[in-house]
């Protein structure tokens, strides 16, 4: 994205087709979001309920997850929304990752059992400033959707990442959540 938030080009590449060095860089970008400092950099937010979910970012994120990030039309809409609401004076990148986690079964005695309780499908978004020839720096903003709550997927919750908790992306967060009242301030 350029400094005005306009798309300068996209690519949708399966992780297995990346060169080893590129895959390693992308994994580091993706891991920065869910492994950030919880309740400081990474905070849990609830989406509004009922009618306010219609035609919302929540609905777009669900559709993106359901498609496994394979619907370029949905991705284009997402990039446009982020570009319009991300507050920066620099060029930046938006990386989206789709993943699955096989949640292991836990017995009543607390021991792990064979098999799984469910498969947790999720999206990680990392928004990073660019350096040099379109190389992303560490993410400044991002999210994990749906949130992983009590060993299960919860699509009414999103974990939002701000690298600097004192300088959050308020406009973009409002757009994602559907209004300032959902920021919990």
3-12, 25-34, 39-48 — which is least confidently predicted? Answer: 3-12
Q: Where are the domains of the chain?
A: 17-182
- DSSP 8-state assignment for residue 41: T
State if pTM tops 0.85: no
Name residues whose C-beta falls within 8 Å of residue 4's C-beta, 6 or more positions apart in sequence. Answer: 83
| DSSP one-letter string for 127-151 | EEEEETTTEE-S-SEEEEESEEETT
- DSSP 8-state assignment for residue 38: B
d(CA 130, CA 90): 8
20-34, 96-110, 153-167 — which is least confidently predicted? Answer: 96-110
Three-state secondary structure call for residue 66: helix
pLDDT tens digit sequence for 69-107: 999 999 999 999 998 998 888 888 899 999 888 776 665
pLDDT tens digit sequence for 93-148: 899 999 888 776 665 656 655 666 778 788 999 999 988 777 888 999 999 999 88
Q: How far is CA 154 from its chain centroid?
A: 14
Pick the more confident residue, 182 or 128: 128
d(CA 4, CA 10): 16
Residue 180's pLDDT is what? 62
């Amino acid at each position: 994205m350029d400094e005005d938030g306009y798309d300068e080009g996209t690519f949708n590449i399966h992780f297995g087709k990346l060169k080893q060095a590129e895959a390693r860089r992308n994994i580091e970008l993706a891991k920065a979001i869910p492994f950030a400092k919880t309740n400081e950099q990474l905070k849990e937010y609830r989406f509004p309920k009922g009618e306010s979910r219609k035609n919302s970012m929540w609905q777009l994120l669900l559709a993106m997850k359901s498609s496994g990030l394979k619907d370029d039309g949905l991705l284009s809409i997402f990039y446009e929304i982020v570009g319009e609401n991300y507050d920066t004076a620099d060029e930046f990148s938006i990386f989206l990752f789709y993943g699955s986690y096989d949640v292991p079964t836990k017995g009543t005695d607390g021991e792990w059992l064979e098999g799984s309780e469910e498969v947790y499908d999720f999206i990680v978004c990392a928004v990073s400033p660019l350096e040099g020839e379109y190389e992303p720096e560490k993410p400044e903003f991002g999210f994990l959707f749906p949130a992983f709550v009590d060993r299960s997927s919860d699509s009414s919750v999103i974990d939002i990442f701000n690298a600097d908790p004192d300088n959050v992306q308020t406009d973009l967060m409002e757009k994602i959540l559907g209004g300032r009242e959902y920021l919990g301030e």
